[in-house]
């Protein structure tokens, strides 16, 4: 072994396609499961949260207006980029969650496969949940799903990477933009994911990653008038935070996905996490009528 | 305020629909567990006909104790009702749909008396849609496995439902039909100003032989609704009404496992491009904002007209508004009925005064208002800016705010500049433009070259602060299933 001194990484936020430090200048210590120091992570402030909302809103028009095919290709590109950095994420997840290398590998592989699963969904979900409605009149009537808008996602606290990907990918697959609050104790895989997203043709601002105290960041986001929805996966079910955030979210009637206990993030996800952040738009067009005798036969 | 001389029109002889077809009892009880019963505390309130202020009946007013009794009845009924084969639940709903069709003239007259809306509307819109809604969801009851929610989707339990006064029986149908089809039981609170049709519906449930406790009707005011929403044994809350109350409900249920759907206010933009067929657009604008006296959450209350055709369009519109017949809602020729209540009339008046005070220009059709009852003449405002109260707040009355635009982008930006996102309209002869604009509008229902069309197969509901969840169609099932 050489005695070469390794180069530490400065973990930074990912907001609007850039990698800023917290505007507050604050960091907090991140340790592994045994308490050994791993890195300092940015301790995001409410100003960082507001900046992330601005970035996410700015990106919404382009991302929701992109073709479903294009979104699918970009999500697949994320999987490709992750595959190339698999070893790094195995290492980070093992440290973060105290897993053996093989268990951490399972988590990372499942997370990569999850991006592939959702990459395939982008141009199928509209056919599954939308469609024509046979109204009793001369109208062509079509219902289509549309993304809700800017979604705040509280990533699961325990499953720092597979859990994170499992809640984030369905939000952006359908054209929403996201502000993700990383696992408070284990934010490093989430912050590294930002580096992958930045090199996957994903437009800046579609995903914004914040680290810090979940309650401190989530509170202003739950009350933010330009956030349309909130996924409380990482709020915990019993400490009252989820309830507080849901009450704050009512101010502008955010769509709220309440936390549900998840034991195994590797299970097949289904479509619920996509439909939770979809609106249905129904458009009526008059068809006119050629009369009953209009047949050419 | 400028009043234009009324254009000469043919006089119409009165053509009143007979009210003898409906027999309103002097008093009604709560409907709990299949029986009409007095309120535990004996409280009652009066329901009046808004067109005459005549007292129609005295209604028992449900209190907290009654809510508890009704929820317990619904809980008890849930066990058997949810275990019935879907095909059997379907047959009950088909029965209800058919009885509604049989009694539709009676119910139309009743609804017109209690609500104040023209018989033309209750007869031709409300009642046919009510029957169709039950008929549609009846057919779903035994097909839930194939509805796209996975195999054997389960009902939620007891649904607490609170509905408004603008379409009393139709809103009841939108709530009860999907709830029952999916195997839930319900406790429904009709609005305090329009309780009668819901109580007649209770009688229809009895005629249909619906098991006791499956449907419970609790007339009352806001406090009754709040008690119902709050009841710990309610699994599902469905509300149609104001955004303010919707937000209060969202706070109330926070931290519980209650599933919620909210259908709230709107400030629909009706966008008219310069290539629109003007006469059709005028008809659409009129039905968009004056249907049901504008007391419609999806009303096209903001007219966005392309600047180049503003004068032509407004001239036609004013001419058309001058021919609308306002008066006795039971008259078959009546276009504009009464405002539902003194309270609503004063809300409309206050907002219209704000419109004038903020500098918008008011025009009202010259028409004689009856001396008793609650009335408001069809009114429009020009020179309205996006910052004006009348361009932002839901008026829920026959008042149209007119704004202009130059480009499609500007039209979309103005249309979307609202806390609401329920409905929108587009008038243009250019297909690609219609599709492009419809795509950009943040609204749950978009009507192109038409307005205010409803159908049981067509999902209805809002974006943003117009609420969440959909009613109607396959989508409407989700609100009542554990999926």
- Our answer to whether residue B297 is catalytic in this structure is yes
Query: pLDDT-based confidence at A50, cuts 50/70/90?
Result: very high
The chain-wide mean pLDDT, for chain B, equals 97
Could you tell me if B222 and B337 lie in one domain?
no
Please report whether residue B455 resides in a domain.
Answer: no
Could you tell me if B251 and B279 lie in one domain?
no
The C-alpha atoms of residue B300 and residue B286 are separated, in whole angstroms, by 9
Helix intervals (H) in B86-221: 86-102, 104-115, 119-121, 127-140, 168-181, 196-207
Please report whether residue B402 resides in a domain.
Answer: yes
| B361: pLDDT strictly greater than 70 | yes
Region B274-280 average pLDDT: 97
Beta bridge partners of B298: none
The C-alpha atoms of residue B463 and residue B243 are separated, in whole angstroms, by 12
What are B427-444's pLDDT values in tens digits? 999 999 999 999 999 999
Could you tell me if B192 and B239 lie in one domain?
yes
The C-alpha atoms of residue B156 and residue A256 are separated, in whole angstroms, by 18
CB atoms within 10 A of CB B432: 8
Q: For position A293, what pLDDT does the model report? A: 62
Q: For position B381, what pLDDT does the model report? A: 98
Looking at chain B, which residue has its C-alpha nearest residue A240? B255
Could you tell me if B296 and B254 lie in one domain?
no
- CATH code, domain with B433: 3.40.309.10
**C-beta atoms of A250 and B446 within 8 A:** no
Query: Which class for A242: exposed (0-12), middle (13-18), buried (19 or more C-beta within 10 A)?
Result: buried
* Residue A271 backbone phi and psi in degrees, to 5: -110, 5
Helix (H) or strand (E) holding B260: strand B259-263
Which residues in chain A have Cβ-Cβ distances shorter than 8 Å to B243? Answer: 253
- The residues, any chain, with a CB within 8 Å of residue B303's CB and separated by 6 or more, are B270, B272, B285, B289, B380, B400, B401, B402, B403
Q: For position B1, what pLDDT does the model report? A: 46
Q: How far apart are the first and last CA of chain A?
A: 86
Residues listed for chain A? 297
Q: What is the DSSP letter of B125?
A: I
Please report whether residue B483 resides in a domain.
Answer: no
Instruction: Give helix B310-321 / helix B278-290 axis angle, nearest 10°.
Output: 60
Distance from the Cα of B56 to chain A's closest Cα (Å) equals 35
- Our answer to whether residue B263 is catalytic in this structure is yes
Please report whether residue B9 resides in a domain.
Answer: no
The C-alpha atoms of residue B467 and residue B32 are separated, in whole angstroms, by 29
**C-beta atoms of B444 and A252 within 8 A:** no
For residue B137, give the nearest of B476, B433, B482 by alpha carbon: B476
Here the tokens at position A156 are 């699961």
**pLDDT over 90, % of chain A:** 93
Query: pLDDT-based confidence at A219, cuts 50/70/90?
Result: very high
| B284: pLDDT strictly greater than 80 | yes
**Candidates A129, A243, A281; nearest CB to B446:** A281
For residue B292, give the nearest of B369, B219, B344 by alpha carbon: B344
The C-alpha atoms of residue B310 and residue A244 are separated, in whole angstroms, by 49
Q: For position B11, what pLDDT does the model report? A: 78
Which residues in chain B have Cβ-Cβ distances shorter than 8 Å to A286? Answer: 448-450
Could you tell me if B318 and B254 lie in one domain?
no
Please report whether residue B11 resides in a domain.
Answer: no
Here the tokens at position A241 are 């935070």
Helix intervals (H) in B141-277: 168-181, 196-207, 222-230, 243-252
**C-beta atoms of A251 and B247 within 8 A:** yes
Which residues in chain A have Cβ-Cβ distances shorter than 8 Å to B241? Answer: none
Here the tokens at position B409 are 């982008």
Q: For position A297, what pLDDT does the model report? A: 54
Size of interface A-B (CB pairs under 8 A): 102
- Mapping DSSP onto H, E and C, the string for B219-236 reads CCCHHHHHHHHHCCCCCE
Which residue reads 């021919």 in tokens?
Answer: B323
Could you tell me if B426 and B319 lie in one domain?
yes
Could you tell me if B249 and B362 lie in one domain?
no
Looking at chain B, which residue has its C-alpha nearest residue A142? B458
**Candidates A133, A281, A286; nearest CB to B455:** A133
**C-beta atoms of B450 and A253 within 8 A:** no
What are B236-273's pLDDT values in tens digits? 999 999 999 999 999 999 999 999 999 999 999 999 99
Instruction: Give helix A86-97 / helix A101-121 axis angle, nearest 10°.
Output: 120
Region B349-369 average pLDDT: 96
Opening angle at CA B444, ends B383 and B189, nearest 5: 100
Could you tell me if B247 and B301 lie in one domain?
no
The C-alpha atoms of residue B305 and residue B384 are separated, in whole angstroms, by 12
| A295: pLDDT strictly greater than 80 | no
What are B191-229's pLDDT values in tens digits? 999 999 999 999 999 999 999 999 999 999 999 999 999
Q: Is residue B276 a contact partner of residue B253, using CB atoms and an 8 Å limit? A: no
**C-beta atoms of B475 and A246 within 8 A:** no
Q: How would DSSP label each residue in B353-399?
A: HHHHHTTPEEEE---PPPSSS-----EEEES--TTSHHHHS---SSE
Could you tell me if B187 and B206 lie in one domain?
yes
Q: For position B8, what pLDDT does the model report? A: 63
Q: Is residue B119 a contact partner of residue B331, using CB atoms and an 8 Å limit? A: yes
**Candidates B251, B254, B459; nearest CB to A280:** B459
Q: How far is CA B348 from CA B245, B255, B397, in A?
A: 18, 36, 6
Three-state SS at A216: helix
Domain count along chain B? 2
| B345: pLDDT strictly greater than 50 | yes
Please report whether residue B139 resides in a domain.
Answer: yes
Query: Which class for B327: exposed (0-12), middle (13-18), buried (19 or more C-beta within 10 A)?
Result: buried
For residue A18, give the nearest of A209, A149, A211 by alpha carbon: A209
For residue B222, give the nearest of B192, B188, B202 by alpha carbon: B192
> Does A222 touch chain B if contact means CB atoms closer than 8 Å?
no
Q: For position B210, what pLDDT does the model report? A: 98
Please report whether residue B189 resides in a domain.
Answer: yes
Which residues in chain B have Cβ-Cβ distances shorter than 8 Å to A272? Answer: 483
The C-alpha atoms of residue B341 and residue A185 are separated, in whole angstroms, by 57
Here the tokens at position B313 are 């369009």
Could you tell me if B237 and B294 lie in one domain?
no
| A186: pLDDT strictly greater than 80 | yes
Could you tell me if B170 and B82 lie in one domain?
yes
Region B132-152 average pLDDT: 97
The C-alpha atoms of residue B196 and residue B347 are separated, in whole angstroms, by 24
For residue B250, give the nearest of A155, A282, A253, A28 by alpha carbon: A253
Could you tell me if B333 and B227 lie in one domain?
no
Q: Where is average pLDDT lowest: A292-296, B270-274, B297-301, B465-469?
A: A292-296
Looking at chain B, which residue has its C-alpha nearest residue A272? B483
- CATH code, domain with B190: 3.40.605.10
Instruction: Give helix B86-102 / helix B168-181 axis angle, nearest 10°.
Output: 160
Please report whether residue B10 resides in a domain.
Answer: no
Three-state SS at A19: coil
Which residues in chain A have Cβ-Cβ distances shorter than 8 Å to B443? Answer: 281
**C-beta atoms of B457 and A134 within 8 A:** yes
Catalytic residue among B17, B192, B263, B478: B263
Here the tokens at position B468 are 């969440």
The structural domains of chain A, ordered by start, are 27-286 (3.40.605.10)
Here the tokens at position B3 are 């009043």
Distance from the Cα of A94 to chain B's closest Cα (Å) equals 34
Q: Is residue B342 a contact partner of residue B350, using CB atoms and an 8 Å limit? A: no
CB atoms within 10 A of CB B414: 18
Query: pLDDT-based confidence at B38, cuts 50/70/90?
Result: very high
Region A138-146 average pLDDT: 97
Catalytic residue among B205, B297, B298, B367: B297
Region A178-198 average pLDDT: 98
**pLDDT over 90, % of chain B:** 97
Distance from the Cα of A145 to chain B's closest Cα (Å) equals 10
| Domain that includes residue B313, residue range | 269-448
**C-beta atoms of A246 and B473 within 8 A:** no
**C-beta atoms of A272 and B470 within 8 A:** no
**C-beta atoms of A285 and B443 within 8 A:** no
Distance from the Cα of B457 to chain A's closest Cα (Å) equals 6
**C-beta atoms of A141 and B475 within 8 A:** no
Q: For position A237, what pLDDT does the model report? A: 73
Asked whether the whole model's pTM tops 0.90, one would answer: yes
Region A87-102 average pLDDT: 98
């Amino acid at each position: 072994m050489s005695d070469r001194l390794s180069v530490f990484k400065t973990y930074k936020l990912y907001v609007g396609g850039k990698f800023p430090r917290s505007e507050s200048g604050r960091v907090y210590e991140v340790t592994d499961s045994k308490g050994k120091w791993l890195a300092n992570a940015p301790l995001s402030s409410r100003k960082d949260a507001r900046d992330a909302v601005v970035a996410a809103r700015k990106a919404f028009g382009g991302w929701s207006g992109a073709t479903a095919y294009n979104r699918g290709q970009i999500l697949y590109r994320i999987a490709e980029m992750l595959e190339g950095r698999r070893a790094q994420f195995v290492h980070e997840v093992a440290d973060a969650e105290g897993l053996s290398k093989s268990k951490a590998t399972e988590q990372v592989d499942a997370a990569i496969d999850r991006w592939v699963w959702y990459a395939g969904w982008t141009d199928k979900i509209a056919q599954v949940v939308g469609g024509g409605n046979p109204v009793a009149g001369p109208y062509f009537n079509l219902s289509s799903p549309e993304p809700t808008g800017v979604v705040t996602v509280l990533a699961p606290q325990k499953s720092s990477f597979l859990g994170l990907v499992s809640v984030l990918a369905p939000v952006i697959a359908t054209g929403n933009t996201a502000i993700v609050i990383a696992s408070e104790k284990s934010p490093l895989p989430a912050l590294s994911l930002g580096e992958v997203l930045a090199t996957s043709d994903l437009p800046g601002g579609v995903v914004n990653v914040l680290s810090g105290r979940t309650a401190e960041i989530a509170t202003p986001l739950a009350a933010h008038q330009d956030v349309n929805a909130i996924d409380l996966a990482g709020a915990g079910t019993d400490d009252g935070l989820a309830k507080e955030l849901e009450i704050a979210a009512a101010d502008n009637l955010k769509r709220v996905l309440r936390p549900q206990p998840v034991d195994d993030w590797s299970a097949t996800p289904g479509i619920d996490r996509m439909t939770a952040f979809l609106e249905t738009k129904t458009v009526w067009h008059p068809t006119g009528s050629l009369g009953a005798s209009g047949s050419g036969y | 305020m400028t009043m234009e001389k009324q254009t000469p029109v043919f006089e119409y002889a009165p053509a009143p629909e007979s009210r003898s077809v409906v027999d309103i009892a002097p008093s009604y009880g709560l409907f709990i567990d299949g029986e009409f019963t007095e309120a535990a505390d004996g409280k009652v309130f009066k329901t009046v006909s808004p067109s005459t202020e005549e007292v129609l009946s005295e209604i028992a007013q449900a209190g907290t104790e009654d809510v508890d009794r009704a929820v317990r009845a619904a809980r008890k009924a849930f066990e058997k009702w949810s275990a019935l084969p879907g095909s059997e639940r379907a047959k009950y709903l088909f029965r209800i749909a058919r009885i509604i069709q049989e009694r539709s003239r009676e119910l139309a007259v009743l609804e017109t008396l209690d609500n104040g809306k023209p018989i033309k509307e209750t007869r031709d819109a409300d009642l046919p849609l009510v029957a169709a809604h039950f008929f549609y969801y009846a057919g779903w009851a035994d097909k839930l496995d194939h509805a796209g929610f996975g195999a054997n989707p389960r009902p939620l339990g007891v649904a607490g439902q609170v509905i408004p006064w603008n379409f009393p029986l139709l809103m009841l149908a939108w709530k009860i039909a999907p709830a029952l089809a999916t195997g839930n039981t319900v406790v429904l609170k009709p609005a305090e100003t329009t309780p009668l049709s819901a109580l007649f519906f209770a009688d229809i449930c009895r005629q249909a032989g619906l098991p006791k406790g499956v449907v419970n009707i609790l007339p009352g005011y806001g406090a009754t609704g709040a008690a119902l929403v709050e009841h710990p044994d309610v699994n599902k809350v469905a509300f149609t009404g104001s955004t303010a109350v919707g937000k209060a409900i969202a706070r109330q249920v926070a931290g519980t496992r209650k599933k919620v759907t909210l259908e709230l206010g709107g400030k629909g933009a009706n966008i008219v491009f310069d290539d629109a067929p003007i006469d059709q657009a005028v008809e659409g604008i009129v039905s968009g904002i004056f249907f049901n006296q504008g007391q419609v959450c999806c009303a096209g209350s903001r007219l966005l007209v392309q600047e180049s055709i503003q004068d032509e369009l407004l001239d036609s519109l004013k001419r058309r508004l001058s021919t609308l017949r306002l008066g006795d809602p039971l008259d078959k020729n009546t276009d504009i009925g009464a405002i539902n209540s003194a309270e609503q009339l004063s809300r409309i008046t206050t907002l219209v005064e704000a419109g004038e005070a903020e500098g918008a220009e008011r025009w009202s059709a010259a028409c004689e208002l009856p001396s008793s009852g609650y009335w408001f003449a069809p009114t429009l405002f020009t020179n309205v800016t996006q910052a004006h109260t009348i361009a932002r707040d839901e008026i829920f009355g026959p008042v149209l705010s007119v704004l202009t635009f130059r480009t499609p982008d500007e039209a979309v930006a103005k249309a979307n500049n609202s806390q609401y996102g329920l409905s929108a309209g587009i008038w243009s002869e250019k297909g690609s433009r219609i599709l492009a604009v419809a795509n950009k509008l943040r609204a749950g229902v978009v009507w192109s070259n038409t307005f205010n069309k409803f159908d049981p197969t067509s999902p209805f509901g809002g974006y943003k602060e117009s609420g969440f969840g959909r009613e109607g169609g396959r989508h409407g099932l989700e609100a009542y299933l554990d999926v």
